Chain A
């Protein structure tokens, strides 16, 4: 028998009797969920999926999603569906998609639905764009079809930021191709012009052709730079583009003049190559940023899209954005509260970790306030809304975060300054050259000034930084480190203090059993197995501490006692699992998390702890500098974790206090990096010099953080620091070379010995050297 599931590759449980049948005979699967998904795939005739996939599928979940039907509601669809000519179009995100085979499977399966007009799945972004005929098929059945083959769809609205990035991306692609292809033509003609392979009469013809071909390069491909320089001059300031545009336009106009008057030299190929290389460096910079925008805006869905609002008779699903103060909404177990409000139904527990960072459940009674974004864990509740939409606590944290990160002054890097000063110097120098030749020596100074501009054009200089950054960013992505903000990559080397959040960052956020104690007449292994069997029915976070049970026990009468615990019957014994607060004899098992009652008698207790990531220990020994835990958790667990890792700690901090502590640490130790995950870390992440978010972090934290650790592996911080050092070294080498070359060739230009072909050759070779040097960072 196969030991691994045919569908998801996880180990099959012992005594497994679940199979699916394909053309190679019986294949074992691990659970009913995987069986259903695999059967659905094979019956649809998509067996090729299993042949070509590169990664095994995720384990299928067995729970049915009841929320899908709500997506058929008009008010909900208004949020993310566009209607045009009897056809509806929507963007979806699709979770669990891993390789090209997944994308193929989804497309093929959905195209079988009659009424579905078109679908295109984007693997890189884990998204799909679908359009369908609402008269023939409902959106909920499309969602159901995606679920049947094991993927999780969610509606999605492309953010303005991202739409804008996409537009810029296309613009860059077009401009690059235009400048690239035209530059090649101009170079070809320049070759003929320089090396005298032409008969005399063709000279002028070739000059005119070059002028014609260079014009779109300057005014179409170079449009971005022209615009930016114009804006900057209009505001009476000087940015990087001003000297660049002076060099481009100066050389271009001088060459035009030479062409009109059949005199002097033309430098069209230098102009177009300069524009092409500059554009290339800008595009590389843009790509680095655009990649992270995709990841961070993929699912801004902390708040549910749908709320069940009380109507006259029953509860109607409506768009959560339409909720108003004093509406009454129902939230089911395991769902997210859509707005701040007052609990008006019975006691229930809430998982508020998203707001407070506390790992333990909060028990709330009727009349207490509940927050948007928190999770209801054990009872269906009714909430009277006090604040919805932008007024919720969660949204306000998000607004504070944006404010803080906008106000923070960016770390000015040496690189920016050098490039700016150097280009400015060149302008002054070429002006001086002109004045000296024209007025002191008495020759026409124009051609010498142009030669200086061409010789020193900061081509290699402008490539030095972006090529190194994008090479390094790509390399780090292979290591599971995503760079949102390239400044972080440059300055990571200089970080001297590190702050960490506890829950979800240093710890996994999942519970595990630390110790247990049972009365002597109890068989503890059997008891634990029984508890695991009961917990399997619960979707409470604590249940994840117990491994999947072997199904030896029949569990009957499973009940959730809201705000207290759960109970069930196994072999005629009533077993109750409850928390400390509901037990009278508190000192029996001090600080235990779960009390076990068998037939109303306390028989033992279980202590749980959130597990420290295995990568945390190595990270703390390898990272040099001040290290501190900043946690919102008030429990003594913070101290334990800090002591185990041998670092400092601060417990019980509100999001604002975290910021205060961080500023204190910065004053004392220098630049601070913050590593965090929850919404409660969002503000302190924004304040830190470098913010690092775990991949399981809330979307709001990931959106604005500089670095995302894709594999949740803390040791990658050490890798990041090492790479930052290498990057800075390469950048330094690039600058030394680029500036060195320009200074070297300068005397030639000033004294008039620089012919156009030497200028072009020198420019290409020095750019090539810089790019090759940067590429070393990819290895």
Chain B
């Protein structure tokens, strides 16, 4: 059972990492528009990025 002294602190540290990542995501506006991002996968990426013609 002594392994619990190590495992639980590790679990808590992982929890803190998860929370840090979530805070970062909130800061980057990732929760502002939840309707849209699901569709992004449908659209192809640009075939070429060089045709900037304005």
Contact flags A335-355 to B (C-beta < 8 A → 1, else 0): 000000000000000000000
**B6 CB–A CB distance under 8 Å:** no
Structural contact, B36 and A181, CB atoms closer than 8 A: no
**A411 CB–B CB distance under 8 Å:** no
A104-B1 contact given A122-B32, A123-B35, A185-B11, CB 8 Å threshold: no
**Count of chain A residues with a beta carbon within 8 Å of a chain B beta carbon:** 34
Structural contact, A114 and B33, CB atoms closer than 8 A: no
A-contacting residues, B28-54, CB 8 Å: 29, 31-36, 38-40, 42-44, 46-47, 51-54
**A112 CB–B CB distance under 8 Å:** yes
Contact flags B4-19 to A (C-beta < 8 A → 1, else 0): 1100100110010011
Minimum C-beta distance from B23 to chain A (A): 6
Structural contact, B22 and A177, CB atoms closer than 8 A: yes
Structural contact, A100 and B31, CB atoms closer than 8 A: no
A100 touches which of B35, B46, B52 (Cβ 8 Å):
B35
**Count of chain B residues with a beta carbon within 8 Å of a chain A beta carbon:** 32
**A195 CB–B CB distance under 8 Å:** no
B-contacting residues, A161-189, CB 8 Å: 170, 173-174, 177-178, 181-182, 185
A113 touches which of B19, B42, B54 (Cβ 8 Å):
B54
Minimum C-beta distance from A574 to chain B (A): 47
List chain B residues, Cβ under 8 A from A17: none
Assembled-state Cα–Cα distance A114/B39 (Å): 26
Minimum C-beta distance from A409 to chain B (A): 35
Minimum C-beta distance from A291 to chain B (A): 13
Structural contact, B15 and A124, CB atoms closer than 8 A: no
Assembled-state Cα–Cα distance A185/B32 (Å): 28
List chain B residues, Cβ under 8 A from A52: 39, 42-43
Structural contact, A205 and B5, CB atoms closer than 8 A: yes
Contact flags A505-531 to B (C-beta < 8 A → 1, else 0): 000000000000000000000000000
Structural contact, A199 and B19, CB atoms closer than 8 A: no
Minimum C-beta distance from A332 to chain B (A): 29
Assembled-state Cα–Cα distance A674/B23 (Å): 44
**A101 CB–B CB distance under 8 Å:** yes
List chain A residues, Cβ under 8 A from B32: 122, 124
Structural contact, A114 and B18, CB atoms closer than 8 A: no
Structural contact, A202 and B36, CB atoms closer than 8 A: no
Assembled-state Cα–Cα distance A178/B15 (Å): 9
Structural contact, B54 and A101, CB atoms closer than 8 A: no
Structural contact, B33 and A123, CB atoms closer than 8 A: yes
Minimum C-beta distance from B24 to chain A (A): 11
- The chain A residue sitting closest to B9, CB to CB, is A209
B33 touches which of A122, A137, A173, A178 (Cβ 8 Å):
A122
Structural contact, B19 and A178, CB atoms closer than 8 A: yes
Structural contact, B12 and A112, CB atoms closer than 8 A: no
Assembled-state Cα–Cα distance A11/B42 (Å): 29
Assembled-state Cα–Cα distance A181/B11 (Å): 11
Query: Residues of A at under 8 Å CB distance from B?
Result: 45, 48, 52, 99-101, 103-104, 108, 112-115, 120-125, 137, 141, 170, 173-174, 177-178, 181-182, 185, 199, 202, 205, 209, 213
Query: Residues of B at under 8 Å CB distance from A?
Result: 1, 4-5, 8, 11-12, 15, 18-19, 22-23, 26-27, 29, 31-36, 38-40, 42-44, 46-47, 51-54
Query: With A52-B39, A100-B35, A122-B33 given, can you name 6 additional A-B contacts, CB distance below 8 Å?
Result: A124-B32, A125-B33, A170-B27, A174-B23, A177-B19, A181-B18
> Could you jot down 21 A-B contacts, CB within 8 Å?
A48-B42, A48-B43, A100-B40, A100-B42, A104-B43, A112-B53, A112-B54, A113-B52, A113-B54, A114-B54, A120-B29, A122-B32, A170-B27, A173-B31, A181-B19, A185-B12, A202-B1, A202-B4, A205-B4, A205-B5, A209-B8
